[in-house]
């Protein structure tokens, strides 16, 4: 698999904030979480944990295992499958980006220590490849040990929880961002051969075209020129691209251009004409029309709204709290 391609696909994701918590749970215990508007991570530091998703077989996580929920899918956690569960919102009603929490729950039985993180990202920057990821990706201890930086970072995060240390909270938040990206890279390499994501990334021709779109989106691509880049006929390329990626090549190109345009509008003061050129539109009018069709607003309104939201008072970064409840069912 082309590691550079995967990096290019993940780079526009634009992580915007992390909430993380440490759970110390004694059996019997169970927690039910609704769907979240962020990605989620659960790392088992000690003990075991059962993960249940609607319509899927339960997954048992052991010490050293990691579960990644790319889309924040609703799921249940417990010391065993089928355990009655309390809503997560009743235990942790507030989970703001930048927040930190310690949670104690359950009974007097076997203890499980979990490290959990919620990673907020700009959904407008999600690529079709990311959307095609399954609801949960599980990396066992052996896999994590095979990715030294990932396993080592998780181990340090789980073992060092002294939030009084200067800068400890900020370090933890940045470390979770690193873990998320490393985990996705490792998880994609472990996907089944028939997975649409893996088929697209490993297809030599489509992978070449995807890399061109992700990294050279400002060039005047057409279906014909992308097909030539991939070394395929136009018709075969268009059909194969749609089958593996889930959308037509030019729509995928437009999505990438709009991702970059939104980033430049929110993170820079570049004039609209300069942004238009940087994302492959040599007509400012054409860029405005495309942006409005894609986002439902003009580039100017998008930039103003972003600036207004950024100016709003934010939750204090790193606000830590402890919620000590012994919840049994």
More confident residue, 130 or 143: 143
d(CA 222, CA 226): 6
- Domain made up of 203-310: CATH architecture: Orthogonal Bundle (1.10)
Block residue for tokens 């729950």: 105
Q: What is the pTM of this model?
A: 0.77
d(CA 60, CA 80): 8
CA angle, 49 then 51 then 56, to 5°: 150
pLDDT of 212-238, one tens digit each? Answer: 998 899 999 999 999 999 999 999 999
Per-residue confidence band for 309, with pLDDT thresholds at 50, 70 and 90 = confident
The domain 3-191 is classified under which CATH number: 1.10.730.10, 2.60.120.280, 1.10.3080.10, 2.120.10.80?
A: 2.60.120.280
Range with lowest mean pLDDT among 171-175, 189-193, 316-320: 316-320
Nearest alpha-carbon partner for 255 in 216, 227, 294, 219: 294
154, pLDDT greater than 50: yes
DSSP type of residue 27 = S
The answer to whether 20 and 115 are in contact (CB under 8 A) is: yes
Beta-bridge partners for 52: 76
Q: What is the pLDDT of residue 276?
A: 97
The answer to whether 171 and 163 are in contact (CB under 8 A) is: no
Nearest alpha-carbon partner for 139 in 87, 196, 189, 212: 189
Q: What is the pLDDT of residue 280?
A: 96
4, pLDDT greater than 70: no
Domain boundaries along the sequence of the chain:
3-191, 203-310
Range with lowest mean pLDDT among 177-181, 184-188, 245-249: 184-188
Q: Do the domains 3-191 and 203-310 sit in the same CATH topology, yes or no?
A: no
More confident residue, 280 or 160: 280
Which residues 6+ apart lie within 8 Å of 12 measured at CB?
A: 125, 127, 214, 256, 259, 260, 263
197, pLDDT greater than 90: no
13, pLDDT greater than 80: no
């Amino acid at each position: 698999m082309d590691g550079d391609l995967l990096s290019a696909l993940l780079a526009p994701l634009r992580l915007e904030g992390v909430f993380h918590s440490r759970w110390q749970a004694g059996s019997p215990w169970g927690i039910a979480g609704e769907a979240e508007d962020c990605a989620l991570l659960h790392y088992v530091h000690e003990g075991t944990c059962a993960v249940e998703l609607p319509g899927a077989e339960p997954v048992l996580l052991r010490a050293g295992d990691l579960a990644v929920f790319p889309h924040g899918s609703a799921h249940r956690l417990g010391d065993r499958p089928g355990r009655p569960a309390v809503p997560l919102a009743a235990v942790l009603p507030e989970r703001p980006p930048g927040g930190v929490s310690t949670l104690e729950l359950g009974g007097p039985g076997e203890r499980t220590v979990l490290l959990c993180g919620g990673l907020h990202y700009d959904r407008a920057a999600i690529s079709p490849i990311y959307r095609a990821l399954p609801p949960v990706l599980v990396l066992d201890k052996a896999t994590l040990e095979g990715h030294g930086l990932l396993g080592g970072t998780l181990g340090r995060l789980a073992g060092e929880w002294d939030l009084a240390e200067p800068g400890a909270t900020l370090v933890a938040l940045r470390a979770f961002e690193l873990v998320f990206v490393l985990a996705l890279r490792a998880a994609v390499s472990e996907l089944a051969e028939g997975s649409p994501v893996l088929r697209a990334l490993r297809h030599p021709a489509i992978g070449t075209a995807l890399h061109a779109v992700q990294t050279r989106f400002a060039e005047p691509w057409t279906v014909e020129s992308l097909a030539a880049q991939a070394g395929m006929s136009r018709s075969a390329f268009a059909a194969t691209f749609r089958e593996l990626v889930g959308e037509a090549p030019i729509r995928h190109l437009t999505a990438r251009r709009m991702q970059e345009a939104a980033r430049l509008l929110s993170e820079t003061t570049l004039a609209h004409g300069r942004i238009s050129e940087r994302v492959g539109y040599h007509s400012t009018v054409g860029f405005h029309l495309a942006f409005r069709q894609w986002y439902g607003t003009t580039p100017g309104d998008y930039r103003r709204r972003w600036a207004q939201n950024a100016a709003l008072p934010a939750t204090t970064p790193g606000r830590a709290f402890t919620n000590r409840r012994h919840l049994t069912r």
